[in-house]
Amino acid sequence: MKSSSRRHPPKAIRTPDGLDHVYGVHALESLLERGETPRELWVQQGAGNRLKELVASAQSGGARIKEQPRDVLDQLTQGATHQGVVAFCAPLMPEGEESLWLKLRAWQASTPPLLLVLDGVTDVHNFGACLRSADAAGAHGVIVAKDKAAPLNATVRKVACGAAEVVPVYQVTNLSRTLAKLKDAGVWITGTAGEAVTSVFEIDMTGPTALVMGAEGKGMRRLTREACDNLAKLPMAGQVSSLNVSVATGICLFEAVRQRQLAS
């Protein structure tokens, strides 16, 4: 009679209370470069030599170092590429609408603001990539709704490669109402839509601009679309009908950057 073995479920991992975990070498480097020391650092057993400098830097800032088996890190990061290191630090919190309006007045006094608005982007990988593009393009901030929006979690921070910590994210209750208020403040709202007639390369984005990107598949919601001053599209020459929202975001943001550089 053959013996049978039972696979036991993995034990629950006890992590430091009230802290977010951030994983990956680049994410940890970004934390340390900004002077933000994690409270606790979990390092994969046997990986100490290749992570020696990072570990030493975190430890000198007061981080508690703990060695953990690889399967613990794998379970914690749900199989993502953690590169042998997981840092625990204070969670990221989006800013509110009041902060947006205060900063908008300050921006307008010095330079035309460039804002990225994400309508219904719920995929954390896309959100992280959009934050990375927003940082690279020098966008002043990213606006999201409280509902139907990806959270600022560990995966977002990993994909954003440090941008999630430096690009302000403003969480608003009613996105269409916020867009209307931006228009009243002199910001031009450009929404992206595949059925638009005008190319994004024909839209003037040298002035105060809010660029609205909709969710993959569904695009912008009706009320968001109606709040836009312009609708624009990326010209598609191949067989595919659309691009990933994070790729499209990068192209549109850097078109704004190109126009502003030519205008300066």
Q: Say if CB 88 and CB 16 are below 8 A apart.
A: yes
Q: What are phi and psi of 219, to 5 degrees?
A: 70, -160
In a domain, 62, yes or no: yes
Nearest Cα to Cα of residue 182 among 108, 132, 85: 108
- Note whether 172 and 156 are same-domain residues: yes
Helix axis angle for 245-263 and 124-137, nearest 10°, is 10
- Give the model's confidence band at 181: pLDDT under 50 very low, under 70 low, under 90 confident, else very high: very high
Helix axis angle for 52-60 and 25-33, nearest 10°, is 40
Which of 39, 63, 89 finishes a domain? 89
Q: CB within 8 A of 75, min separation 6: which ones?
A: 10, 13
Span of 21-25, 122-126, 253-257 with lowest mean pLDDT: 21-25
In a domain, 2, yes or no: no
- Give the model's confidence band at 190: pLDDT under 50 very low, under 70 low, under 90 confident, else very high: very high
- Note whether 240 and 143 are same-domain residues: yes
Distance in Å from the first CA to the final CA of the chain: 82
Q: Say if CB 58 and CB 41 are below 8 A apart.
A: yes
Which of 89, 115, 130 finishes a domain? 89
- Note whether 82 and 212 are same-domain residues: no
Q: Strands of the chain (E only): list them.
A: 20-23, 40-44, 64-68, 85-89, 114-119, 141-145, 169-172, 188-192, 198-199, 209-214, 230-233
Which of 34, 57, 89 finishes a domain? 89
In a domain, 10, yes or no: no
- Note whether 121 and 189 are same-domain residues: yes
Q: Residue 40: which domain range?
A: 20-89
Is pLDDT at 32 greater than 90 in this prediction? no
Helices (H) and strands (E) in the chain — how many of each?
10, 11
Nearest Cα to Cα of residue 21 among 166, 161, 158, 160: 158
- Note whether 134 and 187 are same-domain residues: yes
* d(C-alpha 76, C-alpha 86), whole Å: 9
Q: What CATH number does residue 25 fall under?
A: 3.30.1330.30
Number of structural domains (the chain) is 2
- Note whether 44 and 152 are same-domain residues: no
- Note whether 159 and 177 are same-domain residues: yes
When pLDDT is averaged across residues 172-197 and rounded to a whole number, the result is 95
In a domain, 147, yes or no: yes
Cα-based angle 172, 243, 166 (whole degrees, multiple of 5): 40
Nearest Cα to Cα of residue 109 among 206, 184, 208, 253: 208
In a domain, 60, yes or no: yes
Looking at residue 10, its pLDDT comes to: 58
In a domain, 15, yes or no: no
Q: Say if CB 219 and CB 195 are below 8 A apart.
A: no
When pLDDT is averaged across residues 188-193 and rounded to a whole number, the result is 96
Nearest Cα to Cα of residue 257 among 162, 95, 139: 139
- Note whether 42 and 117 are same-domain residues: no
| Tens of pLDDT, residues 38-76 | 999 999 998 767 788 889 999 999 999 999 999 999 999
Q: What CATH number does residue 196 fall under?
A: 3.40.1280.10
- Note whether 233 and 158 are same-domain residues: yes
In a domain, 77, yes or no: yes
| Tens of pLDDT, residues 77-113 | 887 788 899 999 888 899 999 999 999 999 988 899 9
Is pLDDT at 184 greater than 60 in this prediction? yes
Q: Say if CB 21 and CB 39 are below 8 A apart.
A: no
DSSP 8-state symbol, 95: B
Percentage of the chain modeled with pLDDT above 70: 95
- Note whether 37 and 111 are same-domain residues: no
| Tens of pLDDT, residues 113-143 | 999 999 999 999 999 999 999 999 999 999 9
| Tens of pLDDT, residues 221-242 | 999 999 999 999 999 888 777 7
Looking at residue 208, its pLDDT comes to: 97
In a domain, 13, yes or no: no
